[in-house]
Amino acid sequence: MTLEIIGISVLWLFLFLYVIVASIDFGAGFFNAYSAFSDKQHILTGIIQRYLSPVWEVTNVFFVFFFVGIIGFFPQTAFYYGTTLLVPASIALILLAVRGSYYAFATYGAKINHRGYIYMYGLSGLMLPAALSPVLAISEGGFMRLEGGQPSLDYWALFTSPLMWSIVVLSIAAVLYISAVFLTWYAHKAGDAKATQLVRKYALVWAGPTIITATGIIFELRGHNPEHYASLLDLWWMFALSFLLFLGTVFLIWKKRNYGLAFILLVGQFFTAFFAYGASHYPYLLYPHLTIYDSFTNESMAIALIIAFIAGLGLLLPSLYLLFRLFLFDKDYVKGKSDYHA
Amino acid sequence: MGFEDTALMSRILTLMTLSFHIIYATIGVGVPLMIMIAQWVGIRKNDEHYILLARRWARGFVITVAVGVVTGTAIGLQLSLLWPNFMQMAGNVIALPLFMEVFAFFFEAIFLGIYLYTWDRFEDQRKHFLLLVPVALGAAASSVFITIVNSFMNAPQGFDVLNGELVNVSPLLAMFSPAVPTKVAHVLSTAFMTSAFVLASIAAFRLLRGSNHIYHKKALFLTMKLALVFSVATAIIGDFSGKYLAEYQPEKLAAAEWHFETGSEAELVLFGVLDGEEPKYAIRIPYALSILAHGVPSGEVIGLNDFPEDEIPPLWIHYLFDTMVTLGMWLAFFSFVYVVGAWRGWSIVTRKWFRWLTVLSGPLAMLAIQAGWWFTEVGRQPWILRGYMKTSEGATTSGQVDLMIVLFAGLYVILGIGTVVVLSRMYKRNPVEKELAQRESVKGGEE
């Protein structure tokens, strides 16, 4: 295994973790806003506040970890992606600010629960994946021009691309699906039958769109990037495995059985699909300009980063375990029996 | 022209984000220590007031942290968005502390979540107190790592340039540049000092607004004592910073001091205006610059004449430097008077005008932080990486930075107002008298 592969695997793993934890966060906000809109408020609010409030900052760090890490391991990405992503990334930052400030002002602070704020918070959860996911489309190539050695984004090509829009739709559907499956489990653990029923319904609703758009993207890649399409097909068995795991989740949710296992299968489904997609993208970070080899940092930095990473994990894993034990696996806390907020 | 414009626009947006972020970052680094001290004092003295003080500070702190996370994510991403060419180069040499900063923050965020949601969950108060240790350590470590990156920009080392390629990169050598000791110490001590003054301001304000509760008096005395300790530390470290500048970045010190000709027995120029190369209406302290730079009046201080014209920072940083130093001196003096006065029972420290001065000290300390950061950043110009890369070479070529300035300005205004409104509303709805009474009645019920 080369240093390049270790580097990109670590980053891809953290991006995957971000996709899962952020999806839970984004989707929950949207469901909360939707129930406020349809006057079913309070069914979800308590659950969302109990789970999301203590962990959202941790969620955010996964994202920071990814973009700081990619500059560290692959500094040339700063040049290509940094220059071209100014506008979409700034929009994503504003949306993240909406979410962060909602936690700060509405749940920690003076409990400003103005409806407008709840809607903004909810909508930001859908707009964030829509703002972030086009990067995946851009990485497929064909949307970036080099003028006088300086890269710039071809907005027209991007916004008229069916590939880009499918990725956006997939990201939104996946956010809602992941979130709904998780919340079904969490609500069930909390012993809240009403909430469980509601989010279980959402999970079943969003399962279909998720799998349909995901399949659609594979076929769109055939036209857009035949090289990538070919290597995707080489990994067909991983996507098949992912599909089986998907069926497992839907079956369990449908039969109202074993929600915990359903969520684990879902993580497995996204894990296999995410890594199959990542592996088929290899070695490109950006078709056709940038590979993990020509953008890689020097060897001494790579080794230093990997050592720092291992040391950091040694510190983080026990702390994360403690966090989850207290807020995710503690029955009294999940059920809302105990309130120890400062 | 367009090229220069994006560099200027990128500078403006970075300046805006950093100036806003540093408020939250300073509080984020300093306040955990204050909470820790208050809670520790409370446990040791078995005094409910100090425990409640820690708890109420923690409630406000979490709001500033949440906003700080938002602005911190913004500046983290903006570094790559606005300075892609710089980050491409820096990524090769100084990525290690940036990476470690994420871990430090990760660590802090996890334990902050746990700490906040576990008040009274443990039988033994000391267990809960222990959860705060990683929060304070993580916060301090974050600022240390980020300051290390900034130090590298001021005194780059740990690599060689061969035909435009970076070779012989040593991440550890790059991390421990000569700027690190003074910069890191200065950032930490000023964060503690400013946080202490900000908390003292709040206590003084409550006392002025009619509440004569002993709780606020205890809070004020505690924070002012801490403010004094860290003000003195800051002054001592500031002296070392002067010596660092004289040795490694003489052009920054010379520009800050309007010191044009290299020479010994140099005088320190405070304020004034520049007429050609002659400071007018300025306060001049003989030998002081030589002493600041080398510790002896005979020390030779390098002047601006030794540098090419296009490598000299703008001369208006003089005012930033003076603002920082004057405010620092005043705050050290002021907290000294307060602490001695409170200890000896002077009536002056309980006078209204003195209380108002105390209220003012928090904002003044924050102003000194701003002046200090502006000074060090503008004082590094025209370099983004001193001696290797000019700021204009590091900037993006994207044409939409101006639009982003408007967008982010709006965001920071909203976040700033939101913070003030939410914090004041939170404390107003739940004044300390009410909370103390509630805790009393709960305790009475238990017995």
The structural domains of chain B, with segments of one domain joined by +, span: 1-179+394-447
Look at B63 and A152 and tell me if their CB atoms are within 8 Å.
Answer: no
Q: Is B113 on the interface with A (CB under 8 A)?
A: yes
Question: Looking at residue B359, what is its pLDDT?
Answer: 93
The helix (run of H) or strand (run of E) holding residue B52 is: helix B48-82
Cα B163 to the center of its chain, rounded Å: 38
Burial of A38: CB neighbours in 10 Å, binned 0-12, 13-18, 19+: exposed
Q: Which residue has the tokens 């709040």?
A: B202
- Judging by DSSP bridges, how do beta strands B268-270 and A144-147 pair with one another? unpaired
Q: Is residue A342 part of a domain?
A: no
For residue A341, tell me if it sits in a domain: no
- Comparing alpha-carbon positions, the chain B residue that sits nearest to A333 is B117
Number of A–B residue contacts, CB under 8 Å: 226
Query: What ipTM describes this predicted complex?
Result: 0.85
Residue count of chain A: 342
Residue A330 lies in a domain: yes
* pLDDT of the residue at B418: 87
Question: For the ranges A131-140, B335-344, B359-368, which has the lowest average pLDDT?
Answer: A131-140
Interface test with A, best of B17, B77, B86 (most A CBs within 10 A): B77
CB count within 10 Å of CB A261 equals: 13
How far is residue A35's CA from residue A47's CA, in Å, rounded to a whole number? 13
Confidence of residue B71 (pLDDT cuts 50, 70, 90): very high
Q: Could you tell me what percent of chain B has a pLDDT over 70?
A: 98
pLDDT over threshold 80, residue B210: no
pLDDT of B447 higher than 60: no
Contacts of B125 in chain A (CB under 8 A): none
Q: Is the pLDDT of residue B251 over 80?
A: yes
Q: What is the mean pLDDT of residues B213-217?
A: 86
**What pLDDT was estimated at residue B229?**
95
B150-162 residue pLDDT tens? 999 999 988 888 8
The tens place of each residue's pLDDT in chain A, 342 residues long, gives: 788 888 899 899 989 999 998 998 888 888 888 887 877 666 777 777 777 766 777 788 888 888 888 988 998 888 888 888 888 889 999 999 888 888 878 776 556 567 778 888 888 888 998 888 888 888 888 888 888 778 888 888 888 888 889 889 999 999 999 999 998 998 888 888 888 888 899 899 999 999 998 888 888 888 888 888 888 888 899 889 999 999 999 999 899 888 889 899 999 999 999 998 888 888 888 888 888 888 888 888 889 999 988 998 888 888 888 887 877 666 666 666 655 666
Tell me which residue in A71, A76, A86 faces B398 most closely, judged by beta carbons.
Answer: A86
CA angle (A66, B386, B69) in 5-degree steps: 30
Containing H/E element for B368?
helix B352-378
End-to-end CA distance of chain B: 77
Q: For residue B137, what are the CA distances in angstroms to A321, B31, B131?
A: 19, 12, 11
> What pLDDT score was predicted for residue A138?
86
B13 reaches A (C-beta below 8 A): no
- Answer yes or no: is A340 within a domain: no
pTM for this structure?
0.89
pLDDT at B2 over 70: no
The single residue listed with the structure tokens 């993240």 is A96
Spell out the alpha helix ranges (H) of B171-213. 171-175, 180-208
SS in 3 state form for A115-141?
HHHHHHHHHHHHHHHHHHCHHHHHHCC
Taking the C-alpha atoms of residue A193 and residue A2, their distance in angstroms, rounded to an integer, is 50
Name, in order, each residue with C-beta under 8 angstroms of A42's C-beta and a sequence gap of 6 or more.
Answer: none
CB A117 within 8 A of CB A102: yes
Query: What single letter denotes the amino acid at residue A277?
Result: Y
Whether the per-residue pLDDT at B414 is higher than 50: the answer is yes
pLDDT at B195: 96
Per-residue confidence (pLDDT) for residue A40, from 0 to 100:
67
CA distance B404 to B310: 29
Determine the Cα–Cα distance for residues A140 and A224; give it in Å rounded to an integer: 8
**Sign of the alpha-carbon torsion through A262, A265, A269, A274:** positive
Specify the range with the lowest mean pLDDT, choosing from A278-282, B8-12, B34-38, B177-181. A278-282
**In this complex, which of B119, B396, B419 lies closest to A342 when CB atoms are compared?**
B119
Which residue, A135, A142, A161, is CA-closest to A226?
A: A142
Alpha carbons B14 and B397: distance in angstroms, whole number: 15
- Pairing type for strands A284-286 and A290-291 reads antiparallel
User: What does each C-alpha distance from A48 to A21, A36, A182, A216, B85 come to in angstroms?
Assistant: 13, 13, 11, 32, 41
pLDDT computed for residue B325 by the predictor: 93
Decide if A339 is inside a domain.
no
What domain count does chain A have? 1
- β strands within B307-429, DSSP E: 383-385, 389-390
Q: What is the pLDDT of residue B145?
A: 94
> Is residue A112 a contact partner of residue A105, using CB atoms and an 8 Å limit?
yes
Domain that residue A262 falls in = 3-334
What are B166's strand-pairing partners?
A: B161
pLDDT of residue B335: 93
> B98, exposed or middle or buried, with CB in 10 Å at 0-12, 13-18, 19+?
buried
Decide: B178 and B155 in contact? Cβ < 8 Å.
Answer: yes
- A83·B396 Cβ contact <8 A: yes
Q: How far is B66 from chain A (nearest CA, A)?
A: 5
Q: What is the percent of chain B with per-residue pLDDT over 90, rounded to a whole number?
A: 40
In whole angstroms, give the CA distance from residue B384 to residue B392: 8
Whether the pLDDT of residue B1 is over 50: the answer is: no
Cα–Cα nearest to B178, from B257, B237, B241, B236: B241
Read off the pLDDT band of B57 (50, 70, 90): very high
